[in-house]
A and B are shown apart, each in its own frame.
Chain A
Amino acid sequence: MRRAVVIGAGLAGLVAGVRLAEGGMRVTMVAKGVGSLTLSPGVIDVLGYAPGRVDSPREALGAFVAERPDHPYARIGADALEEALAWFTDRVPQMRYRGDGPRNLLLPTAVGVPRPTALAPASMAGADLRGGGRFVVVGLSGLKDFFPRLLADNLARADLPSGAMVGARHAEITASPRPGRADVAGQVYARALDDPAFRGEFAAALRGLAEPGETILLPAVLGMARAGEVFDELQERVGAPIAEVPTVPPSVAGMRLNTELTGAFARAGGRVVLGVEAVGATGSDGRISEVLVRDAARTRALPADAVVLATGGFSAGGIALDSYGGLHEVVLDLPVAGPPAGVAPLSERHLDHQPLMASGVAVDGMLRPVGPGGEPVWDNLHAAGTIVAGAEPWREKSGEGIAIAGGFRAAGAILEET
């Protein structure tokens, strides 16, 4: 049985791991900690802004990569992206991802901006703003990360497709899993809602809040392990459509996706080792044969016939910037592609394009990290996710698309090798 080592337990690593394990490989995933999916809002972005708002990622992608030949999507290709997304949604049925074919949904953020995304859990998709709608935004008095009035007031002035009329008002309920505590985290609400007792109390508090024709918008805390059941039951008992709105981390929807995807990986036979740090690799003839990992006591060698590097960009710690401005890939010391010469690495305007933040490893068509001459550093090393250079996914709203398609494609390239 061929052995693969996946470094990193975020979305790209998990996708690659599941596909490799399903493809018959013995997969070991190593990561310093729980992956950053737990920080993500749980929606699947493909391409939201380019830089104008994208209506259909499928239609926009060609021109987008033509203008950006070094973007990860230029390496992956639109067909692989579609195939990967279809494959992915089948792997996480409990998330109940919904989309509108090739078109983006337009879902409200917690500050009331209509945000384009390709796929969203059914529990969120009902807030699609493209056709307008009437909403009552409901806050939870103990949750400090959701401001129903700000959301509602911004929604009312939002930039929507012509003809879409939105009405929004706000309300608050005091039902709490920790009565007497002023500060209750989202995941505490979510776990409490898994329990039918609190769910009943919560439903009772919501009942009667929505006028006919209104959708209730709530922070995305409606259940953790039993989120589907919680959502269905709440809608039924409240008697009004409900939609969840993701808010700042920690993200309950991201935790749900992380749980389901790590479960899929385990069911496919994969093994996860958390709390270890990959620190290097050994190999010969252009091929890695072992990945070196350090745990509390020692450095160990994990045999590998193929390796997927999915350690993320700066925020996840896959790429580091030292105090002299030097860029480093932290595990294998791969060459890092930073801002092109003559381009200011950072702009003084915070919301501008920040070329330095798009730093990462450059890859070939099989997503193998390459050196300055375009030659692969290792023939059996593939990279996926935010570690790949050339994107600012938080601006483009492209993070999940890049991670899923990259993980899928990297695994595909490894499986094709046999």
Chain B
Amino acid sequence: MRGYRTILVERVDLGQGTTGRFHGLLHSGGRYVISDERSATECAEESAIVKRIAAEAVEDTGGLFVTTPADDPGYADRFLAACLKTGVPVQEIPAAEALRREPRLNPGISRAFEVQDGAVDAWKLLWGNARSAQEHGAAILSYHWVTEVIREGDRVAGVIARDNRAGEMVRIEAAFVINAGGVWAGEIADMADCPGVTVVPGKGIMIAMNHRLVRTVVNRCEHPGDGDILVPIRTVCVIGTTDVKADSPDDYSIGRDEVQQMLDAGEVIVPGFRQARALHAWTGARPLFKDERAGEGGEDTRHMSRGLALVDHLRRDGVSGFLTITGGKLTTYRLMAETVVDAMVEQMGDSRPCTTATEALPGSEDGRHYWLGSRLAAQEEAMADDQLVCECELMPRRKLVEAARRRPGMTLDDVRRALRLGMGPCQGGFCTYRATGILHGLGDAETERADELLLTFLQHRWLGLEPILYGDQMRQACLDDWIFQGTLDVEHLPVTVPT
């Protein structure tokens, strides 16, 4: 948008990392008013901007902070004062009013505060940003894994990346390189010979439940802890999260104990939570930047700042043409971009102002927010003319065909990130076979590849299912086994089963 010729390089698919593995919460800032004032103010300002520029990706649910019987009743007054201090809009409402709005809430709540939380669809937000970037002339290279940062003396002059789908090395020469590798930013800085950028992966678990048990984002009015936020997003609600230091940013394992912890935490917010059907679990790793000056530690990631961190390698390492932006949150993604590009512009001796806070993303020009029935409304219009490939997520065949034309060679996980394939209650029980058949029929996936797509997608769905299998989702998983193994015998397809 500032007129630079730009190439975005991503190691897998857009949203395969932390961006797509989050809670769905567009933070009002209320969560950080006491523990992290700067983040609170940033969230308050940025969430208002994101609601404006990415309206299509946001459902304006509003949020509540409620004092449950398990919470310190003294926190509420401190919370209210801190909201005023940090500029986070807040209004106390009677507990009875909160219960009228959210009948499933714990009837024992003593206080309730209204805030401006929202629910944001990470993928819609991503595709909106990607389309905007492309319309402004940027190229996006997904599945390009940076293996080397090119140094010319004291200057960074580009990167070398491996194109993981074509199996080729790609050399990109650039006047400037921005390292926005998030939780992997330290690895990239190392490649530029700028050691010591430590980004601690703060891993958190999230579980999607089959229904919207609440209509409003519900936070516990307490010091930030585990499993104290319930976010209604699209047709589900998501409980989360935890915060533990992971050994590797690529550790996506899910502990059974963490699942139990989340279900117990859900009971505090919505009694009877365990009776609801858990659909899928996932983990993501927050990029928590560790400032050397903060001293030792880094074990207790919950109390590390969520603030964004700009690392100026010219000042720090004497290396020009290279900046790292990390830390931050999804809510402050735009501010992170503005901050780092401002720094780049300054270093290049330029003066081009940032316009991302005012220009709406493609698809969001009319300022209309996402609403729960919008997908069904679109589907009803096209009902007679098109086949529904994924009934749970109302994904029509036409959308898949168009996506395959735009982006040949997608995996079914790529399709999931673009079109929500397999994210609903049956977790791919029907649509996996259909999507495979369609991509093969289009000639997009030759036969062996099609078989691999099918088995890989089933395996990947299983990773998020196995830890939360109980109740009706166990039922569903067994039905899906009857379909795929019983009827289709997919385990004997003539390909090697992926791990």
Contact = CB atoms under 8 A, between A and B. Distances in A.
Nearest to B448: A157
Interface range, B side: 35 or more
B339 to A, nearest CB: 40
A315 B489 contact: no
Contacts of A153: 440, 447
Interface string A18-41: 000000000000000000000111
A147 B475 contact: no
A113 B490 contact: yes
Contact of A109 (B389, B461, B487): B487
Contact of B494 (A158, A323, A394): A158
B105 to A, nearest CB: 20
Interface string A366-393: 0000000000000000000000000001
Contacts of A146: 437
A313 interface: yes
Interface residues of A, number: 54
Interface string B456-477: 0011011100100111001111
A205 B486 CA distance: 32
A144 B389 contact: yes
Interface stretch (A260-268, A331-339, A343-351, A401-409): A343-351
A110 B278 CA distance: 30
A321 B469 CA distance: 8
Contacts of B479: 39, 315
Contacts of A159: 492, 494
Interface SS of chain B: helix, strand, loop or mixed? helix
B489 A397 contact: yes
Most B CB atoms within 10 A — which of A147, A357, A397? Answer: A147
B478 interface: yes
Contacts of B387: 144, 182-183
A180 interface: yes
Interface in A146-173: 146-147, 149-150, 153-154, 157-159
Given A157-B494, A248-B488, A322-B471, A150 B450 contact: yes
A113 B447 contact: no
Contacts of A157: 447-448, 494
Contacts of A317: 475
Given A154-B494, A182-B384, A321-B469, A115 B478 contact: no
Interface stretch (B111-119, B303-311, B329-337, B428-436): B428-436
Contacts of B437: 146-147, 149-150
Nearest to B459: A350
B474 A314 contact: yes
A325 B470 contact: yes
A52 to B, nearest CB: 11
B483 A248 contact: yes
Given A147-B438, A313-B478, A111 B490 contact: yes
A115 B484 CA distance: 12
Contact of B489 (A115, A249, A325, A346): A115
Contact of B481 (A154, A182, A246, A357): A357
Nearest to A107: B489
B493 A111 contact: yes
Nearest to A248: B483
B451 interface: yes
B173 interface: no
A113 B488 contact: yes
A24 B28 CA distance: 71
A357 B478 contact: yes
B397 interface: yes
B205 interface: no
A357 B474 CA distance: 9
Contacts of A41: 486-487
Instruction: List the 10 closest pairs (A to B, CB-CB), nearest first.
Output: A147-B437, A350-B462, A394-B486, A315-B478, A153-B447, A314-B478, A113-B489, A394-B485, A115-B489, A144-B387
Interface of A: 39-41, 53, 109-111, 113-115, 144-147, 149-150, 153-154, 157-159, 180-183, 246-249, 251, 313-315, 317, 320-325, 346-351, 354, 356-357, 393-395, 397, 399
16 contacts: A41-B486, A41-B487, A111-B488, A111-B490, A113-B490, A147-B440, A150-B440, A154-B447, A154-B494, A183-B388, A315-B475, A315-B479, A320-B471, A321-B470, A349-B459, A351-B458
Given A182-B387, A317-B475, A395-B491, 12 more contacts: A111-B433, A144-B434, A149-B437, A153-B447, A183-B386, A314-B475, A322-B471, A323-B470, A323-B471, A346-B466, A351-B485, A394-B478
